[in-house]
Chains A and B, each alone.
Chain A
Amino acid sequence: GAGVSQSPRYKVAKRGQDVALRCDPISGHVSLFWYQQALGQGPEFLTYFQNEAQLDKSGLPSDRFFAERPEGSVSTLKIQRTQQEDSAVYLCASSLGLAGSWSYNEQFFGPGTRLTVL
């Protein structure tokens, strides 16, 4: 595809349910990022993958949040036992991931998944 796609675009979950959010990055992009955006705020970093390796998960708010990218392309963000404070837009971004280069690795964002926990 031409850009980063995410599915579903909208998800409503009852408190306590598990959810899985999917991200399809731009083909060939090595780096993949997940961000969480609360209403009226800027996106906040959750986790980062380089190919299939999760190199940084410092932004994951709790052990209920889990992300994977098993084959180095599609990624899934899973939230277990959802809570109302998990309600937010979850954004995925990918970049070429050129190592050691002065070229800016522009991050291309998907449209996000809006999660509402009732």
Chain B
Amino acid sequence: LAKTTQPISMDSYEGQEVNITCSHNNIATNDYITWYQQFPSQGPRFIIQGYKTKVTNEVASLFIPADRKSSTLSLPRVSLSDTAVYYCLVGDPRYNTDKLIFGTGTRLQVFP
């Protein structure tokens, strides 16, 4: 499984766009990039997944360059409720038996 590296923490203010970058230099051909979000006292929650280029959903956008050695999670106009830990994971989604490998994540603090 590819190792990921992401910043330990980030601060932002309400209404700003937040970009969290994750490095995964050893990503394999069949690997997808997945981001989970975890609020205090809750389990992680899937937010977005992509393979290449750009993916957007109602929560976030995920930008993946052509070499796929990094990815950027973009949260538009954050609010206080976006304060959470964000985890970047890399793996092959074909294998439903595949355990998720979390790093320490990026702790995002949004201030008013």
Contacts and interface: CB of A to CB of B under 8 A. Distances in A.
Interface of A: 4, 30-31, 33, 35, 40-45, 48, 50, 55-56, 59, 91-93, 95-112
Contact of B99 (A4, A45, A96): A45
8 contacts: A30-B96, A43-B44, A43-B100, A45-B100, A93-B100, A101-B96, A109-B43, A109-B44
B87 to A, nearest CB: 6
Contact of A42 (B42, B45, B87, B94): B87
- Contact residues of B: prevailing secondary structure: loop
A82 B77 CA distance: 45
A97 B6 CA distance: 29
Contacts of A42: 85, 87, 102-105
Contact of B97 (A4, A31, A59): A31
Interface residues on B, range: 20 to 34
A50 B96 CA distance: 9
A48 B97 CA distance: 7
Contact of A4 (B34, B43, B46, B103): B43
B101 A45 contact: yes
Interface of B: 32, 34, 41-46, 49, 85, 87, 93-94, 96-97, 99-105
Closest 3 CB pairs of A and B: A109-B43, A42-B102, A45-B99
A56 B94 contact: no
A42 B99 CA distance: 13
A55 B97 contact: yes
Contacts of B34: 104
A33 B46 contact: no
A100 B98 CA distance: 12
Nearest to B8: A40
B49 A104 contact: yes
Given A42-B104, A104-B32, A110 B43 contact: yes
B39 to A, nearest CB: 10
Nearest to B93: A104
B102 A33 contact: no
Contacts of B42: 109, 111-112
